[in-house]
């Protein structure tokens, strides 16, 4: 019975293949990335923190270090550097400290060395004028377990391997390095290294702004910070970009500022100028812009003479005219791009021009910090410096 | 006593130039069974020819081989020796499947136990053979109703067989056996499970319908009423197929035997009259 | 395609609901069990891989160390000195959450302490790809005891944001506060985050008592030259006990633990399917037998053999499709219970997983359904074949079929010999492989089943004269009837024999195992009171008791001496091992050694000097030879060190095996002062209850478990019994299905013989006598099945104990086959068979003899 045998074979084969096929269909579960949204109330605000509402006596070297009871603090290094053959670089290395909660919180009986209410953030930027490139990186860490922190004696501010450290008195070592210079979370090619390694030596005495360092920025006495600068710092060292290492020299500027709620209500940002002139003088001026377009009357600055004397500048002492604009392709913010700064009392008619238009940092917050060159209308003076523009891409009201 | 030559009989009863063609031919047909180590002969070297349209009756005791012969003629079973020709086809050379397919078209069956499919309705039982030969639904239904009408059960089409009496079931079986226009109808003890009156009705119907359609009817039975209707009567005895002689009326006796009379004819079979009407 | 045939089939199936239901039931049961076990296994695996995924994230390497943990200063060095930006610290442990958690007691929470500032490259769920949301994480970072959970988990524990939760850690209860929720983006993420509680590194260190330590540091190292250079720099500053590992090796080592266990379960589930197949074979056969006349008629009418075959097969296919569908639903339902059982066992024996719900993978369901249909088709082929052999009415008689059967008997028996021989060969020569072991067992069982017809005939012939003396004519008839209908009776006997022998074999194995474990507990649990931390999961979290506790307890009046134990998971060249360090002044029982380099006392001395002992299953798993010279390399806090293996001990606590060393040696190589448990021995004559009372008083206020010996024994045996709960269920199922199968076989048999029995009744057999005849026949069949089940069951038990168990887990078990098992076997078989004979007797008793006679 060939017919029946054939059918039987077919059925048996079918059955067996069904059984076998069923077995083979076992597939390991596909693992995916675990994704979730964090749901929590946001806790920001500045109640409970100490405020700078009057001049505070500063003692050094301790006060070079942090002031944890105040909400905000930074150590701000900027500078203009050049190689032997005239290749120009600008750099910025800023260490920010932020207190999450006022001091005096509940602690458990055996506190871990990882516990802290201080958070550190650092910005590292390089402007490569010749190469027409701008690099900006951010790091974030807790101020505990030795991962990030600051101290006055000996002076050291660090976040992981970025640091500003006094090796010897008067000599500060700045170091910052970024290995995969891609955006956060992505891995760029490992050859993309940007590194800064500088030795700083301040030539002048520290300049205290405002009233012995009590620098007001708004009507409320608490809208202020303690603010001092080293305005003329000889700098030498190296900058590495990719596989190229450049030996550079130049001049840097350091700001140390701390306080709580610098800006008063209604203030949306500021323009800040730090200019080093060829006659040995420096100018620092900030104007605070208000929501209605006006300038806050507490905008102020300082002119530091060649011998270090600090001359205060009030808002009426300085006229700033915007000569050009630049719109950021990244954030859409419309920034001023060239200024005329007139300080008649000191016969200064300065034109400030950024070395490159795009020196915008799009990091935790968006602002513009650019190396700039200075010329004086009289032609006798030149200079260089840094301009900082905040509040153009997003309002800074309530953030500082 | 020698069995009479079958063909001689035929030529005796009909004029020479009207010899009807053979529809069934058996040559040296033999069937043996193994039982407990011994060989038993059911049939041995049987020769027979049947012409178109003949009503043939097979007589014999139970177990004599009537059913076996039917099975061999229909191709259900294969002989141990010999050949079977049906309508020019050599059945014994065909494979099981070929014989099955042949059987579909050319044969109809009627059984003692009616053998209707209990899970099909009456009309479905009758259309089944038509479906097997591939006939279309509507045409099948029409033809089935035609036959059910002929057996007088047109109104019972949608009933299931368990609702019908024995006689009614056998009538459905008749319709089923003829619906697909077979050459040959094989009936194995069709009245065995029926009472006398119903038997008569059924036989009448079977005889009429097959003759009307010009089909061959080969019936195995041990009922003697049937004999009167048959064209030829055969007897299986000792593995041999023996034909009963025809009476003077051109019909096989013992139509003329009175009830109760014991007659021992020349060919060695014995018959007790069952009271047939003269 | 014959619609008449289709209609016939459908109506036939519809008109015989019990039979159709039996077939559907057979398939449904088989499919349900296979699917339930499969789903349980899949769910457990999925839970495991998801939890691994959620915890490991995208790390390419991990720095791990010995049980003492890593110094957290190492992380600071990696960040500050080496400037690594893709490194994340992890502090983790298991805690038990809540007073009465919503589902199941003792569910463990995985506390994961992370640094949100480092998480972004590794795990997406806390900080996502954007900026660290510091504003939302202020309380998390600053306030101690703050945790984050997924939304589902918070609901489970009935917590809203800001609510406190009590958790139990080793050595106490602590309160944590829920300060943020995680909202999973998809179902898999939701499952992955199940059982996870996130906290800041600081919080985890405080809660778990791991100040100054990390459990591991996750790294992402690029696959390039720079990456290699990074690895080199990292390796250079790693302290002695720390080493680099890839996450894959860790998780695969862990998941392999359960391979043997899940394979055993799957084999058991297949058994259910095979038994289901038998049920299908029987019901289809029965339906063919019922319709022999109809089939004969159809064949006459010209229905081909192929069409008949197709009809039967299609009927089976249709019903089995329905059965598979039901089986799928039933399997999902059963799966809920099975998954709880399976994860319970995995939790008890292997590692912690949390499965809150069944993972209903469509492929698993499809696989089960296809398996069911395929198996049903396979089982339906022999009866379908038999249907095609039904001759057109009249030609073939039953007796020819039976003659054929008797003639084929020697071949079947030979087949049985070959099959069991092949099975035995496979078992003996497959080394350590488990799968061939199961195939071998199946082959042996089937081989023995093939002996059944020959042995049935022999036993019946042997019994006939004896039966004649006891029960007269009926007795002789009964035994002859069994032989005469061999093609039916042998199958029923074989099926019953297989089911009973499987039951007996598994019962013997389980009871032998239990006895071995009890005996082992006797000579290892020698102390009077055991003290440890509460919590009952199998994952040691390397925390422990107060180290001065041992001294404190030794001072308590009534205490003779105290043993100290430290149990940790340590790394070795063969993967993670369970390491137990012991300090004991009480001599070990020599019975504990399966092999020792020297005598019992000397060996222990060698252990004190720096050797180790390994357990049987450890030795089996890692192919450690039982002779001097074997050794084991462990990663200690002093670097890798090779310890000589002094001996192999019996241990049934874990199938992963355990490594024992002296506590002094342990403290030498590991900076881990912790203590896991203490064993207290009482002084001569000291009352036990009083001692326990004393101890409790002395140690009041500390979260400790103080258990007398008897309680610990009970617990251990309870875990054992829980583990074998599944086999009990399956054994019952086997008997049930076999019983139904035998019932349908007997029905089929009696139906065929109804004419013969009708004749007997007509001759003058009373209904009562007929009952006696039938029950005698079925009783004889049961007896034969039972008698044959005895050697088969014993063989099965032997194979299970010495081969399957050994290859699965590495344990040696003493086979103890108490005679009561065999009495049980025969009794079950006879009772089942007799009960199965009742229904056919009822049916035949009701039938009038004349009717039976008239049936053709």
- Res C167: pLDDT: 85
Per-residue DSSP letter, B3: P
Cα distances from C470 to residues C459, C463, C827, in angstroms, run 16, 11, 20
**Nearest-CB residue to B71 (from C3, C15, C395):** C395
C371 interaction partners in chain A (CB closer than 8 Å): 18-19, 22-23
Percent pLDDT > 90 in chain A is 58
When pLDDT is averaged across residues A193-197 and rounded to a whole number, the result is 92
- Greater confidence (C807 vs B20) lies with C807
Task: State how far the Cα of C779 lies from the Cα of C460, in Å rounded to an integer.
Answer: 12
Structure tokens at A90: 């600008």
Residue A238 has pLDDT above 50, yes or no: yes
Which has more pLDDT, C738 or C826? C826
Average pLDDT over residues A220-239: 92
Least confident of A184-198, B138-152, B162-176: A184-198
**Which residues, 6+ apart, have CB-to-CB distance to C372 below 8 Å?**
C27, C28, C30, C31, C34, C273, C276, C320, C323, C324, C327
Q: How sure is the predictor about C218, in pLDDT bands with cuts at 50, 70 and 90?
A: very high
Question: What residues of chain C lie within 8 A of the CB of A96, using their CB?
Answer: none
Residue to mutate among B78, B96, B99, with most A CBs inside 10 A, is B96
- Lowest average pLDDT, out of A120-124, A334-338, C93-97, goes to C93-97
pLDDT, one tens digit per residue, over C344-378 is 777 776 676 766 677 777 888 888 888 888 989 99
More confident residue, C739 or C151: C151
> Which residue carries 């850690």 as its tokens?
C169
Q: Is the pLDDT of residue C110 over 70?
A: yes
Measured in angstroms, the CA of A10 and the nearest CA of chain B are apart by: 18
For residue C73, give the chain A residue with the closest CA: A145
Structure confidence by residue, pLDDT tens digits, C252-261: 766 676 777 7
- Which residue blocks in chain A are alpha helix, DSSP H? 2-24
In a domain, residue B121? The reply is yes
Q: What is the DSSP string of C90-123?
A: EEEEEEEESSS-SSSTTPEEEEEEE-HHHHTTT-
Is the pLDDT reported for residue C188 higher than 80?
A: no
Alpha-carbon distances, residue C745 vs C103, C279, C488, C491, C815 (angstroms): 46, 9, 7, 8, 35
Range scoring the smallest mean pLDDT among A372-376, C8-12, C805-809? C805-809
For residue C303, list chain B residues with Cβ-Cβ distance below 8 A: 100, 132
pLDDT (0 to 100) of residue B247: 63
pLDDT of residue A271: 94
Nearest chain A CA: its distance from B132 CA (Å): 17
CA distance B139 to B179: 11
The answer to whether A29 contacts C45, with C-beta atoms less than 8 Å apart, is: yes
Distance CA B273, CA B224 (A): 8
Q: Is the pLDDT of residue B256 over 60?
A: no
Alpha carbon distances (Å) from C626 to B3, C133, C620: 94, 59, 10
Token pair in block for residue A129: 């004028």
**Beta strands B55-59 and B232-237, pairing class:** parallel
Higher-confidence position of C309 and C192: C309
Q: What is the pLDDT of residue C138?
A: 86
Q: How confident is the model at residue B238 (pLDDT cuts 50, 70, 90)?
A: confident
User: Looking at beta carbons, which residues of chain C come within 8 Å of A98?
Assistant: 134
Please indicate whether, in this complex, the C-beta atoms of A35 and C124 are within 8 angstroms of each other.
yes
Lowest pLDDT segment from C101-105, C549-553, C678-682: C101-105
CB atoms within 10 A of CB B133: 16
Find the residue in C nearest to B182 (Cα): C301
pLDDT at residue C673 in the model: 79
What value does the mean pLDDT take over residues A54-83? 92
Chain A residues with CB under 8 Å of B95 CB are: 2
Which residues 43-82 in chain B show a CB within 8 A of chain C? 67-68, 70-71, 74, 76-77
Mean pLDDT, rounded, for B263-274:
46
Can you give the three-state secondary structure of C386-416, one letter per residue?
A: HHHHCCCCCCCCHHHHHHHHHHHHHHHHHHH
CB C532 within 8 A of CB C541: no
Residues of chain A found within 8 Å of residue C252, distances taken between Cβ atoms: none
Res C772: pLDDT: 84
Q: Which range (A5-14, A173-182, C515-524, C821-830) has the least confidence?
A: A5-14
Closest chain C residue by Cα to residue B37: C403
Of B129, B123, B115, B147, nearest to B213 (Cα)? B147
CB-based contact C751:C806 (threshold 8 Å) = no
Q: In the prediction, which pLDDT does A270 show?
A: 92
A122 within 8 A of A157, measured Cβ to Cβ: no
How much is the pLDDT for B9?
39
pLDDT higher than 60, residue B276: no
Q: What is the mean pLDDT of residues C153-166?
A: 86
Place of tokens 């087949």: C415
Sketch the domain layout of chain A as residue ranges. 60-101+115-390
If one compares C642 and A364, the residue with the highest pLDDT of the two is: C642
- Residue B185 contacts C, CB cutoff 8 Å: no
- CA C599 vs. chain centroid, Å, equals 37
Smallest Cα–Cα separation from A97: which of A162, A148, A165? A148
Residue C539 pLDDT: 46
Nearest CB to C395 within list B76, B109, B129:
B76
Contacts 24+ apart (CB under 8 A), C700-706: C702/C171, C702/C172, C702/C546, C703/C168, C703/C171, C703/C172, C703/C173, C703/C533, C703/C534, C704/C531, C704/C532, C704/C533, C704/C534, C704/C545, C705/C530, C705/C531, C705/C532, C705/C533, C705/C534, C706/C529, C706/C530, C706/C531
* pLDDT confidence of residue C186: 77
Cβ neighbours of B97 in A, within 8 Å: 1, 3
User: CB of C479 within 8 A of CB of C446?
Assistant: no
Highest-scoring range by mean pLDDT, A15-29, B191-205, B242-256: B191-205
Q: Indicate the range of A126-130, B1-5, B137-141 predicted with least confidence.
A: B1-5
Å from B30 to nearest chain A CA?
23
Say what the pLDDT of residue C721 is: 82
Buried b (16+ CB within 10 A) or exposed e, B241-262: bbbbebeeeebbbbbebeeeee
Whether the pLDDT of residue C487 is over 80: the answer is no
Rg over CA atoms, chain C: 33
Domain count along chain B = 1
For the segment C478-500, the average pLDDT, to the nearest whole number, is: 81
- Mean pLDDT, all residues of chain B: 79
What mean pLDDT do residues A226-248 have?
93
- Give the length of chain A: 400
Instruction: Identify the residue whose tokens are 């998480």.
Output: C119
Q: What is the mean pLDDT of chain C?
A: 82
Contact in structure between C117 and A142 (CB atoms under 8 Å): yes
Please give the pLDDT value at position C405: 67
CB C119, CB C127: distance < 8 Å: yes
Residues of B in contact with A2 (CB under 8 A): 95
What pLDDT sits at residue A114? 92
Cβ proximity of C41 and C182 under 8 Å: no
Give the pLDDT of residue A201.
95
Q: What percent of the residues of chain A are helix, what percent strand, and what percent coil, each to the nearest 5?
A: 10, 50, 40
Long-range contacts of B46-49 (CB under 8 A, 24+ apart): B46/B82, B46/B239, B46/B240, B46/B241, B47/B6, B47/B241, B48/B6, B48/B24, B48/B234, B48/B241, B49/B6, B49/B7, B49/B10, B49/B22, B49/B24, B49/B25
- Give residue C55's pLDDT: 79
Query: Which residue is associated with the tokens 């032609």?
Result: A379
Hey, are the CB atoms on C294 and B117 less than 8 Å from each other? yes
- Contact yes or no for C293 and B115 at CB 8 A: yes
Give B-chain residues touching C294 at CB under 8 angstroms.
115, 117-118
Q: Is the pLDDT of residue B118 over 70?
A: yes
Round to whole Å and give the CA distance between A369 and A355: 11
Name the 3-class secondary structure at A203.
coil
Nearest CA in chain B to A4: B97
The string of DSSP codes covering B207-270 is HHHHHHHT-EEEEE-S-STGGGG-SEEEEEETTEEEEPPB-TTSSBTTTTPPTT-EE--TTS--
**CA–CA separation, B231 and B218 (whole Å):** 10
Neighbours of chain C (3+ CB pairs under 8 A): A, B
Q: Decide: C755 and C749 in contact? Cβ < 8 Å.
A: no
**Distance in angstroms (rounded) separating the CA atoms of residues A160 and B149:** 105
User: How far does A369 lie from chain C, in Å, by closest CA?
Assistant: 21
CB contact under 8 A, B76 and C306: no
- Is A2 near chain B, with CB under 8 Å? yes
A125 and A368 Cβ atoms separated by less than 8 Å: no
**What CA–CA distance (Å, rounded) separates C489 from C425?**
30
Of C547, C585, C548, residue with least CA distance to C566: C547
Nearest Cα residue in chain C from A162: C80
Residues of B in contact with C302 (CB under 8 A): 100-101, 103-105, 107, 129, 132-133
Residue from C47, C71, C85 to probe the interface with A (highest A Cβ count within 10 Å):
C85
pLDDT above 70 covers a percentage of chain C that reads 91
Q: How many Å is the Cα radius of gyration of chain A? A: 28
User: Which among B52-61, B175-184, B244-253 has the top mean pLDDT?
Assistant: B175-184
B199 assigned to some structural domain: yes
Query: Residue A196: its pLDDT value, please?
Result: 95
Residue C628 in tokens: 């001097």
Distance (Å) from the C-alpha of residue B227 to the closest C-alpha of chain A? Answer: 39
User: Which residues does B175 contact at the CB level (< 8 Å), separation at least 6?
Assistant: B126, B144, B147, B148, B150, B151, B153
* Structure token pair of residue B268: 């060695």
CA distances from A156 to A63, A153, A165, B149, C799 (A): 12, 8, 4, 116, 73
In DSSP terms, C582 is beta-bridged to C565, C662
> Looking at CA atoms only, how far is residue C500 from chain A in angstroms?
26
The DSSP secondary structure of C429-469, one letter per residue, reads HSTT-HHHHHHHHHHHHHHHHHHHHHHHHHHHHHHHHHHHH
Distance in Å, alpha carbon of B100 to nearest chain A alpha carbon: 12
pTM exceeds cut of 0.90: no
pLDDT band, residue C309 (cuts 50/70/90):
very high
CATH number at residue B66: 3.40.50.300
Domain range for B172 is 53-75+94-272
Rounded CA-CA distance A125/A162 in Å is 12
Is the Cβ pair C142, A105 closer than 8 Å? yes
Residues A154-189 pLDDT 10s: 999 999 999 999 988 889 999 999 987 654 434 456
CATH class (in words) of the domain with range A60-101+115-390:
mainly beta
Contacts of A164 in chain C (CB under 8 A): none
Q: Chain B contacts of C391, Cβ < 8 Å?
A: 76-77
In the complex, which subunits touch A with 3 or more CB pairs below 8 angstroms?
Answer: B, C
Segment C430-463, tens digit of pLDDT: 887 888 888 888 889 889 988 888 888 888 888 8
Which residues in chain B (114-173) have CB-CB distances under 8 A to chain C? 115, 117-120, 124, 127-129, 131-133
Residue scoring higher pLDDT (C303 or C225): C303
**How buried is residue C9: exposed, middle or buried, by Cβ count under 10 Å (0-12/13-18/19+)?**
buried
A236 Cβ neighbours under 8 A, 6+ residues apart: A198, A199, A247, A248, A249, A250
Residue C759 has pLDDT above 80, yes or no: no
Chain A environment of C139 (Cβ under 8 Å): 40, 43
Chains sharing 3 or more CB pairs under 8 A with chain B:
A, C
Distance CA A107, CA B27 (A): 115
Placement of tokens 């939760």 in the chain: C165
Min distance B212 CA to chain C CA atoms (Å): 22
């Amino acid at each position: 019975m060939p017919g029946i045998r054939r059918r039987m074979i077919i059925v048996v084969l079918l059955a067996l293949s069904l059984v076998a096929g069923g077995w083979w269909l076992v597939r390991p579960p596909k693992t995916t990335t675990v994704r979730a949204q964090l749901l929590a109330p946001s806790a920001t605000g500045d109640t409970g923190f100490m405020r700078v509402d009057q001049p505070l006596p500063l003692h050094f070297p301790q006060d070079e270090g942090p002031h944890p009871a105040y909400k905000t603090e930074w150590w701000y290094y900027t500078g203009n550097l050049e190689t032997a053959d005239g290749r120009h670089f600008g750099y910025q290395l800023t260490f920010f400290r932020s207190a999450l909660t006022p001091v005096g919180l509940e602690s458990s009986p055996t506190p871990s060395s990882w516990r802290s209410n201080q958070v550190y953030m650092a910005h590292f930027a390089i402007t490569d004028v010749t190469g027409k490139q701008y690099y900006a990186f951010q790091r974030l860490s807790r101020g505990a377990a030795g991962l990030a922190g600051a101290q006055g004696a000996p002076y050291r501010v660090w976040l992981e391997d970025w640091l500003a450290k006094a090796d010897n008195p008067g000599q500060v070592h700045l170091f910052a390095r970024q290995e995969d210079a891609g955006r956060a979370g992505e891995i760029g090619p490992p050859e993309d290294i940007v590194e800064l390694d500088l030795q700083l030596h301040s030539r002048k005495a520290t300049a205290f702004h405002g009233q012995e360092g009590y620098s007001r920025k708004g009507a409320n006495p608490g809208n202020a910070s303690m603010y001092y600068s080293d305005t003329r710092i000889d700098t030498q060292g190296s900058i590495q970009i990719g596989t190229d290492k450049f030996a550079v020299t130049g001049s840097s500027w350091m700001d140390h500022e701390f306080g709580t709620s610098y800006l008063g209500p209604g203030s949306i940002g500021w323009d800040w100028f730090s200019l080093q002139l060829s006659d040995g003088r420096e100018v620092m001026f900030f104007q605070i812009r208000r929501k209605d377009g006006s300038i806050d009357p507490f905008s102020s600055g300082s002119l530091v003479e060649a011998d270090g004397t600090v001359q205060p500048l009030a808002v009426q002492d300085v006229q700033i005219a915007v000569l050009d604009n630049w719109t950021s392709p990244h954030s859409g913010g419309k920034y001023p791009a060239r200024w005329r700064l007139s300080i008649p009392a000191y016969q200064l008619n300065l034109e400030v021009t950024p070395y490159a238009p795009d020196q915008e940092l799009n990091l935790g917050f968006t602002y513009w910090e650019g190396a700039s060159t200075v010329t004086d209308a009289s032609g006798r003076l030149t200079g260089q410096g840094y301009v900082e523009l905040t509040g153009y891409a997003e309002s800074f009201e309530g953030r500082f | 006593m020698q069995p009479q030559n079958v063909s001689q009989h035929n030529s005796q009863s009909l004029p020479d130039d009207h010899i009807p063609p053979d529809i069934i031919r058996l040559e040296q047909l033999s069937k043996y069974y193994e039982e407990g180590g011994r060989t038993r002969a059911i049939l041995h070297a049987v020769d027979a020819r049947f012409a178109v349209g003949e009503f043939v009756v097979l007589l014999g005791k139970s177990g004599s081989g009537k059913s076996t012969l039917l099975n061999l003629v229909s191709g259900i079973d294969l002989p141990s020796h010999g050949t079977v020709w049906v309508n020019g086809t050599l059945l014994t050379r065909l494979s099981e499947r070929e014989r099955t397919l042949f059987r579909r078209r050319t044969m109809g069956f009627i059984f003692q136990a009616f053998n209707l499919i209990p899970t099909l309705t009456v009309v479905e039982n009758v259309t089944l053979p038509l479906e097997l030969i591939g006939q279309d639904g509507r045409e099948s239904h029409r033809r089935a109703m035609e036959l059910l009408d002929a057996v007088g059960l047109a109104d019972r089409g949608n009933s299931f067989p368990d609702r019908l009496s024995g006689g009614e079931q056998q009538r459905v079986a008749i319709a089923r056996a003829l619906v697909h226009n077979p050459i040959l109808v094989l009936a194995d003890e069709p009245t065995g499970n029926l009472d006398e009156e119903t038997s008569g009705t059924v036989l009448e119907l079977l005889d009429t319908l097959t003759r009307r359609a010009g089909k061959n009817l080969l019936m195995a039975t041990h009922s003697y009423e049937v004999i009167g209707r048959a064209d030829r009567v055969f007897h299986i005895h000792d593995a041999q197929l023996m034909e009963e002689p025809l009476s003077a009326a051109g019909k096989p006796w013992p139509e003329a035997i009175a009830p109760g009379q014991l007659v021992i004819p020349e060919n060695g079979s014995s018959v007790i009259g069952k009271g047939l009407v003269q | 395609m014959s619609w008449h045939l289709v209609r016939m089939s459908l109506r036939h199936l519809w008109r015989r609901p019990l039979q159709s239901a039996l077939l559907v039931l057979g398939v449904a049961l088989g499919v349900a069990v296979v699917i339930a076990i499969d789903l349980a296994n899949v769910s457990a695996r999925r839970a495991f891989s998801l939890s691994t995924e959620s915890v490991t994230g995208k790390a390419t390497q991990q720095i791990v160390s010995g049980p003492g943990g890593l110094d957290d200063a190492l992380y600071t060095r990696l960040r500050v000195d080496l400037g690594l930006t893709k490194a994340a610290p992890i502090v983790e442990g298991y805690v038990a959450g809540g007073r009465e958690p919503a589902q199941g007691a003792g569910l463990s929470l995985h506390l994961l302490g992370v640094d949100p500032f480092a998480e972004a490259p590794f795990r997406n769920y806390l900080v996502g790809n954007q900026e660290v949301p510091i504003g939302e994480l202020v309380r998390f970072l600053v306030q101690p005891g703050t945790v984050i959970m997924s939304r589902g988990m918070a609901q489970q524990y009935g917590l809203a944001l800001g609510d406190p939760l009590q958790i139990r850690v080793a050595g106490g209860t602590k309160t944590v506060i829920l300060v943020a929720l995680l909202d999973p983006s998809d179902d898999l993420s939701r499952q992955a985050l199940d059982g996870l509680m996130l906290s800041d590194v600081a919080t985890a260190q405080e809660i778990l008592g791991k100040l100054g330590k990390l459990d591991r540091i996750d790294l992402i190292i690029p696959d390039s030259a720079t990456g290699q250079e990074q690895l080199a720099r990292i390796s250079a500053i790693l302290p002695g006990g720390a080493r680099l590992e890839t996450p894959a090796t860790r998780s695969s080592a862990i998941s392999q633990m359960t391979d043997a266990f899940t394979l055993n379960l799957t084999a058991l589930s297949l058994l259910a399917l095979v038994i289901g197949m038998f049920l299908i074979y029987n019901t289809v056969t029965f339906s063919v037998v019922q319709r022999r006349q109809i089939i004969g008629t159809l064949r006459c009418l010209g229905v081909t053999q192929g069409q008949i075959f197709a009809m039967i097969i299609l009927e089976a296919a249709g019903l089995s499709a329905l059965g598979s569908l039901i089986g799928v639903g039933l399997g999902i339902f059963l799966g809920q219970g099975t998954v709880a059982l399976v994860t319970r066992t995995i939790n008890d024996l292997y590692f912690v997983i949390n499965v809150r719900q069944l993972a209903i993978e469509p492929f698993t369901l499809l696989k089960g359904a296809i398996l069911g249909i395929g198996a049903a088709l396979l089982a339906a082929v022999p009866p379908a074949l038999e249907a095609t052999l039904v001759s057109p009415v009249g030609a073939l008689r039953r007796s020819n079929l039976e003659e054929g059967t008797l003639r084929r008997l020697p071949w079947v028996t030979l087949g049985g010999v070959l099959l069991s021989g092949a099975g035995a060969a496979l078992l003996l020569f497959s080394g350590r492989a488990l799968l061939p072991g199961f195939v071998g067992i199946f082959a042996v069982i089937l081989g023995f089943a093939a002996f059944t017809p020959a042995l049935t005939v022999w036993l019946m012939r042997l019994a006939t004269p004896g039966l004649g003396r006891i029960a007269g004519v009926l007795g002789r008839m009964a035994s002859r009837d069994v032989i005469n209908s061999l093609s039916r009776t042998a199958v029923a006997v074989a099926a019953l024999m297989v089911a009973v022998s499987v039951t007996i074999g598994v019962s013997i194995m389980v009871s032998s195992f239990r006895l071995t474990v009890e005996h082992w507990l006797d000579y290892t649990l020698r102390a009077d009171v055991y003290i440890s931390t509460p919590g009952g999961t199998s994952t040691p979290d390397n925390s422990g008791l107060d180290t001065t506790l041992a001294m404190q307890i030794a001072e308590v009046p009534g205490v003779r001496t105290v043993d100290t134990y430290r149990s940790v998971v340590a790394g070795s060249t063969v993967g993670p091992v369970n390491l137990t360090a012991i300090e004991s002044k009480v001599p070990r029982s020599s019975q504990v050694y399966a092999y020792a380099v020297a005598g019992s006392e000397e060996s222990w001395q060698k252990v004190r000097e720096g050797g180790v002992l390994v357990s049987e299953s450890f030795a089996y798993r890692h192919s450690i030879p039982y002779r001097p010279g074997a050794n084991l390399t462990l990663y200690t806090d002093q670097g890798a060190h090779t310890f000589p293996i002094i001996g192999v001990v019996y241990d049934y606590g874990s199938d992963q095996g355990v490594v024992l060393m002296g506590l002094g040696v342990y403290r030498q190589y590991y900076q881990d002062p912790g203590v896991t448990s203490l064993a207290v021995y009482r002084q001569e004559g000291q009352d036990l209850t009083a001692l326990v009372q004393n101890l409790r008083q002395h140690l009041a206020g500390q979260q400790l478990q103080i258990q007398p010996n008897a309680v610990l024994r009970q617990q251990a045996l309870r875990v054992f019994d829980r583990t074998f709960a599944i086999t009990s269920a399956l054994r019952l199922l086997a008997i049930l299905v076999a019983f139904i199968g035998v019932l349908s076989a007997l029905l089929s048999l009696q139906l065929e013989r109804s004419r013969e029995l009708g004749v007997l009744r007509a001759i003058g057999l009373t209904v009562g006598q007929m009952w006696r005849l039938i029950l005698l026949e079925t009783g004889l069949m049961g007896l034969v099945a039972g008698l044959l089940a005895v050697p088969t069951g014993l063989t099965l038990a032997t194979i299970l104990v010495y081969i399957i168990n050994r290859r699965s887990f590495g344990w040696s078990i003493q086979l103890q086959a108490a005679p009561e098992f065999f009495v049980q076997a025969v009794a079950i078989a006879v009772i089942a068979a007799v009960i199965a004979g009742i229904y056919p007797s009822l049916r035949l008793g009701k039938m009038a003899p004349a009717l039976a006679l008239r049936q053709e």
